[in-house]
Amino acid sequence: MQWDQFNRRAARCLPLRALTAAVCLAFSASLVSPVAQAQGAAPKITPKISDGVIKIGLLNDMNSLYADLTGVGTVEAVKLAVEDFGGKVHGFPIEIVFADHQNKADLAAAKAREWFDSQKVDMLGDVGASATALAASEVAKQRNKIALLSGPGTSALTNDKCNAVTVHYAWDTYALAAVVGRGVVKGGGDTWFFLTADYAFGQALEKDTADVVKAEGGKILGSVRHPLNTADFSSFLLQAQASKAKIIGLANAGGDVVNAIKGANEFGITKNQKLAGLLLFINDVHSLGLGVTQGMQLASAFYWDMNDETRKWSRRFFEKTKKMPNMLQAGAYSSTMHYLKAVKATGTDDTDVVNKWIRSNPINDMFVKNGKIREDGRMMREMYLFEVKKPSESKYPWDYFTLKATIPAEQAFRPLSQSVCPLVKK
C-alpha cells in the first residue's frame, strides 16, 4: 500500500467519532508501515556474537627497542577506539587483551595460538616487528581469524606471504623505499651504503630501497648487517664511512636507528655523508632532538599536525601518554574502528562475514580518507615524504616535520602487476 492510499483511507476516517477514527487511522498505518520499511528503513539486525564478547588481542614489543613505537602507546590508541565506539557493539562488551612478544617469532605464534584457541580472541592487531607478524599471521590463517596489522613493515605480508584474513594496514617496506629512496636519489643522493638490521624487516627494507635506488639510476656501494638491538655501532659506521657513499641508508628502526644516528654524529660522519632514516618516527626525532636530526627525510602515513582532525585526536592521545602518536599507533586506532564498524554493520563476529565487510567498505577517519583494502590485503592510502625541521623552524612542542610531497597510493605501494600473492587474479 502506498502513501496516497493511506491518505485516502485517513480521509474516510475523519468524519467518524474520535475513538472510532483513531482506531481507523491506526489500522491504516499498520497496513502502510511494511511498505515504508521496505522503501527506506534499515532492516533490523539480530546480533550473533560468539561468547557474548568482542575480543581484540594486541601483540607488540612492550619493553625493548620498539616499545616506544608501539607498546603501551598502541594499547592506549586502541582503548581510545573502544571508548569512541561506546565500549559495546549491539550491547555486547568489547574487551582488549595485550602481550609482549619480546620480538620473538615463536613466542608471537604461541601467544596468537593460545588467544585464538582458549581465549576466543576475534581479531589480532598491531603485532609490531616483521618476523613476529609473519609468524602470527600464519597462525591467524590456520585458525581463520582476522589480523589487522599496523605495526610490522615487511612487504611480504601482502606479497609471497599474503593470506585471506590478514590486512597490512599502515605502511610497508616497499612504500618506505618508494617514498624516501626515490626522493633522496632525485635530490642528488645517488650512491648508497646500507646499515641494516639483520632480520626480516631490515633485509626487506634494504632490498626494496636498493631496487628503487638502482631503478632511479643510483648505485649501491655496499652494506653491512648488525644484530637486532645493537648498542655500539662504531664498527658498522666505520665501514659505511669508508665506502664514501653519499647516503648511508639506515634500514633499521626504534632503538637501533636512534643509536646509529647518535654514533654517526659522534664520529663526525654526517659532515661529509648524509643519513637516510628509512623508518624514522616522530618518537625518534623527539628523543634525539632537532639539532641531530634536522634535514633528514622520512616517509610516514600520518603526522599529528597535518590538519584539525589529526590534531584533535592526537591531543587526546597525548593526554593519555604524554607523547604525540606515530603512524603505527594512529593506524591501530583506525584499524580497530574499521573492525568494530564491520561487527556493528553485520551483527556478528563471524570471520568470513566480517572479513568480507572489511574488504568491501572504504575507510574514512582521522588516519585515512577513502582508504581501500586491496585483494592482496594491502590497505591502500597515500603516503607522505617529510623533512625534519631545523631547531629555528620549530614553533611549538612536537612541531618537527615539513611536508615535502604527497605520494598517491598507487605510486607508494607495490603494483599488483608485480605481486606474487596467490590471492591476486592475473
Asked whether residue 366 is domain-assigned, the answer is yes
- Based on the fold, state whether residues 110 and 81 are members of the same structural domain: yes
Alpha-carbon Rg for the chain, nearest whole angstrom, is 26
Residue 242 sits in a domain whose CATH number is 3.40.50.2300
Query: Which carries the bigger pLDDT value, residue 331 or residue 25?
Result: 331
Could you tell me if 205 and 287 lie in one domain? yes
If one counts the domains in the chain, the total is: 3
In a domain, 57, yes or no: yes
Distances (CA, A) of 390 to 181, 340, 397, 403: 22, 41, 13, 14
Give every CB contact of residue 321 below 8 A, 6+ residues apart in sequence. Answer: 72, 73, 76
Determine the Cα–Cα distance for residues 127 and 115; give it in Å rounded to an integer.
Answer: 13
Place of cell 564478547: 53
Residue 421 within a domain? no
Do residues 326 and 245 both lie within one domain? no
Domain range for residue 343? 50-171+306-381
pLDDT at 45: 74
- Domain identity same for 178 and 279: yes
Give the DSSP H or E segment for 405.
strand 401-407
Q: Are residues 261 and 404 in the same domain?
A: yes
Q: In this predicted model, what pLDDT tens digit does every residue of 73-109 receive, in sequence order?
A: 999 999 999 999 999 999 999 999 999 999 999 999 9
In the chain, the N- to C-terminal Cα span, in Å, equals 50
Q: Nearest CA to 225 among 208, 203, 241? A: 203
Q: Which three cell numbers stand for residue 247?
A: 647516503
Q: What cell numbers appear for 101 in the block?
A: 612478544
Q: Does residue 362 sit in the same domain as residue 394?
A: no
If asked whether residues 282 and 402 sit together in one domain, one would say yes
Q: pLDDT tens-digit profile of 247-292?
A: 999 999 999 999 999 999 999 999 999 999 999 999 999 999 999 9
Residue 417 lies in a domain: no
The residue ranking higher by pLDDT, 286 or 14, is 286
Asked if residue 418 is part of any domain, the answer here is no
CA torsion, points 303, 308, 312, 317, in degrees to nearest 10? 0
Torsion of CA 341, 343, 346, 348, to 10 degrees: -170
What are the Cα distances from residue 317, in Å, to 55, 330, 396? Answer: 22, 9, 17
164 and 179 share one domain: no
* Residue 273 sits in the same domain as residue 397: yes
Task: Say if 313 falls within a structural domain.
Answer: yes
Q: Looking at the structure, tell me whether residues 284 and 407 fall in a common domain.
A: yes
211 within some domain:
yes
Which residues have C-beta within 8 Å of that of residue 246, sequence separation ≥ 6? 188, 189, 190, 191, 192, 273, 274
The residue with cell 614489543 is 61
Is there a domain that residue 425 lies in?
no
Same domain for 161 and 184?
A: no
pLDDT digits (tens, 9 = 90+) for 173-225: 999 999 999 999 999 999 999 999 998 899 999 999 999 999 999 999 999 99
pLDDT bin (cut points 50, 70, 90) of residue 346 is very high
**CA dist., res. 67 & res. 100, Å (int):** 9
Determine the 3-state secondary structure of 280 from DSSP: coil
**Domain co-membership, 311 together with 272:** no
